[in-house]
Amino acid sequence: MSDMPRDYRELITPLIQTTRKIIASGDTLAPFALVGNIAARHMQLVDMEPDAVDPKAEFAEAIREVAQARRADFVFTIMDAWTLDPAQAHRHEEIIARYGSIGASPYRIDIISFSLETHWGIWMAQAPIETGEGGARTFPDPDFQLCPQVEGRFVGLLPPKDGDETSTVLH
């Protein structure tokens, strides 16, 4: 897990296992985040409201609000998503122009996206959803990589560390 601190690895492993059970059962995975302060052992689940006007934007804002209130030092998000096979990735603009989205294209790969943001870095993993024994859906163990340059609405969710007014967004 690319030098992810042990305390965080131990915290997220059961959530990954629970996600695997949800996927295997055939249930829909509702995106969620675990926001907390690992030293204080204060944690709160935040889930996305699918009926919101802009669900992703409101989810990110809810995470930021909880992170500020909890004086959080980590945010762990899990959500389903789509991606392209690396062989098709260079065609992403063409695919979106033709099909309207990656999700509507025949090149879509369903994945589970994991992100752990801490004040020491952001670790991310994508695991493709596969069909396992007996037709149950599953995914391989996620391979977390430290991502020093990452942007997007689900980055920079943590408040600054005490006494540090610099942004937590990494560019």
Parse the chain into domains and list their residue ranges.
Answer: 6-146
Q: Is the dihedral of CA 75, 56, 23, 138 positive or negative?
A: negative
Q: How far is CA 9 from the centre of its chain?
A: 15
SS3 assignment, position 42 = strand
The set of residues, in sequence order, having a beta carbon less than 8 Å from that of 113 and lying 6+ positions away, is: 77, 78, 79, 80, 81, 124, 125, 126
Q: Is pLDDT at 62 greater than 50 in this prediction? A: yes
Determine which helix (DSSP H) or strand (DSSP E) holds 19, and give its type and residue range. Answer: helix 6-25
Mean pLDDT of 89-114: 94
Taking only the tens place, the pLDDT of each residue in 65-75 is: 999 999 999 99
Is residue 164 very low, low, confident or very high in pLDDT (cuts 50, 70, 90)? low
* pLDDT for res 67: 96
